Amino acid sequence: MRVAWHSIFALVGSALAGAIAIRLSRRLIRDERVYAYASAVLLGGLLTARLGHIADNWDAYAAAPDRLAAFWGGGIAVIAAPIGSTIAGLIAARRLRLPSAFMLDVAAIGIVLGLAVGRIGDVINGEHHAAACAGLAWCVRYTHPETLGQSGPVHPVVVYDALLDLAIAALAYAFWRGARAQRDEGRTYLLILGLYGAGRAATSLLRLDPVVLWGLQEAQILGLLYAVVALPLFFLRGRPRSLA
């Protein structure tokens, strides 16, 4: 059995995400509960990312049901990962008696940076079919017979995604430090979720992924949902509370 570059860098990105979240959490949490929390968040995200991939490619999986439980060698839809990560994070924080908003903040910073690292494997594999590209210095063309990309020049959409993730991580970390890492802050998580959703909805315009509803791809539907929910909440949480 061969191990794909995507799997290798997904593992590296996950390890980096957990390490960053644990390190940032040390501002408030000094004990070992953070390790159980980080594991829950990563596993929750992996589960819904896998379910998202299955939903996005249901015709193929319906024809071969034995592939449904095959995580190893199977695909994931990272756009669906925030659903599982959030649910698992809230449950884990409650059971471990950790400040849920603070933990979501630090976990989100780690995850979005880990996603950028995971995209390296996509670039090597030539994954994710993209719109044709012409006249730009950064158009790419995969010629190796074992790559998954198209043969003609295309937009390096996974590079766009990686740059988006890095920009969001840098902005969110700066915001998090400025917010003084309060226990009940939570806005860093909302900022990351909203910007990530909006960004993925935009970059998906260059993807050739299946259309699932209303002429939109799965990534566009979920991305827009994240943005319209998280960004208004981000600004509302930042408004001064009335003393009345």
Residue percentage of the chain with pLDDT more than 70:
81
| Higher per-residue confidence, 107 vs 242 | 107
Which range of 87-101, 115-129, 208-222 scores highest in mean pLDDT? It is: 87-101
Confidence of residue 243 (pLDDT cuts 50, 70, 90): very low
Question: In this predicted structure, which of 101-105, 134-138, 183-187, 230-234 has the lowest mean pLDDT?
Answer: 183-187
Q: What average pLDDT does this structure show over 70-75?
A: 55
Q: What average pLDDT does this structure show over 203-207?
A: 88
Q: How far is 83 from 23, CA to CA, in rounded Å?
A: 23
Q: What average pLDDT does this structure show over 36-53?
A: 86
| Model pLDDT, residue 131 | 83
Partnered with residue 207 across adjacent β-strands are 130
Element (H, E) at 213: strand 211-213
> Exposure of 59 by Cβ count < 10 A (0-12 exposed, 13-18 middle, 19+ buried)?
exposed
For the chain, what is the largest distance between any 2 Cα atoms, rounded to a whole number of angstroms? 68
- Span 11-25, pLDDT tens digits: 888 888 889 899 998
* Number of other CB atoms surrounding residue 187 within 10 Å: 22
| Model pLDDT, residue 62 | 58
| Higher per-residue confidence, 134 vs 175 | 175
| Model pLDDT, residue 244 | 35
Using the CB atoms, write b or e for 154-181: b if 16+ within 10 Å.
Answer: bbbbbbbbbebbbebbeebbebbeeeeb
- Span 148-194, pLDDT tens digits: 666 678 888 888 999 999 999 999 999 988 876 666 678 999 999 99
| Model pLDDT, residue 125 | 75
- Span 103-119, pLDDT tens digits: 999 999 999 998 898 88
| Model pLDDT, residue 112 | 93
Which residues touch 98 (CB under 8 Å, ≥6 apart)?
29, 33, 34, 37, 92
Long-range CB contacts (within 8 A, 24+) of 144-149: 149/125
| Model pLDDT, residue 183 | 61
Contact 48, 84 (CB under 8 A): yes
Q: How far is 160 from 190, CA to CA, in rounded Å?
A: 21
